[in-house]
Amino acid sequence: MQKSVYIDGIGHPIIIARRKGTRSLRLSIKNDGTVRVTVPYGVPEFVAKKFVTDKREWIAKHLKPQTVVRANTHIGKNHQLIIQNGTGTRPSSRVSDTEIRVTLPAGMLEKSPEAQKTIKRACEKALLQEAERLLPQRLETISKQKNVPYKSCTVKKLKSRWGACDNHKNISLNSYLIQLDWALIDYVICHELAHTEHHHHQPSFWEFVERLNPNYKSLRKELKSKPTDIIVS
């Protein structure tokens, strides 16, 4: 059983999760900035809140700055974010081929945690939609150009990697990739195609990458500055 609460002085949602077998309170931070406290059954909620409040300095130290996605932001290759007010009591969203339309209840600020959660989920849906349409085509084109075959392609949201390739030549590409310049996307694709021949990062692998993409060193350096997250300018 879990419950989402807000605590003064911490600008992120707190999840209080009760778990069987848990003997002590434990604190963790998820990638989306949610602070999670795991609580044994029988411990009152106010004790959990005080535990979190006492850990405010630790939370502030370990929390990554959260990106605020605002109205009129260009998302991915084709989408525009539109934020409007509505008559409902909860935020909602709708994604088309070119628009991400988020409707917020009257009085809810776009920077509020609840609004940002809805906005970011809608943006991720749009990015996945674009990535599923464009990235496999790009992979297929480069595979044929370079004469490096692969077995299959899957596009999905990955937390820390731009792509992956297993021992059976199945390639996965991160949906966040679609936000990057095509030169960076092509580098990631060449990187994963190289893994169909070399399942490591030894010198022979990088020699193969260079054969596929001679400018890989500068592109690799640039890619390190890009987050696997929604990118706003």
Instruction: Write out pLDDT tens, residues 25-69.
Output: 999 887 666 788 999 988 999 999 999 999 988 888 887 777 889
Does 194 score more than 70 pLDDT?
yes
Q: What is the mean pLDDT of residues 66-88?
A: 94
| Residue 192 in this model has a pLDDT that exceeds 90 | yes
Q: Which long-range CB contacts under 8 A does 6-11 form with residues at least 24 apart?
A: 6/113, 7/49, 7/52, 7/53, 9/53, 9/56, 10/35, 10/52, 10/53, 10/56, 10/59, 11/113
Q: What is the pLDDT of residue 153?
A: 98
* Cα separation, 85 vs 172, whole angstroms: 38
Residue-level pLDDT at 197: 97
Average pLDDT, the chain: 92
pLDDT of residue 79: 97
Q: What is the structure's pLDDT at 19?
A: 84
The domain made up of 133-223 has a fold known as: Zincin-like (3.30.2010)
Instruction: Report d(CA 91, CA 176) in Å as an integer.
Output: 23
pLDDT at 10 over 80: no
Domains of the chain, by residue range, sit at: 2-62, 74-126, 133-223
Q: What is the pLDDT of residue 63?
A: 78
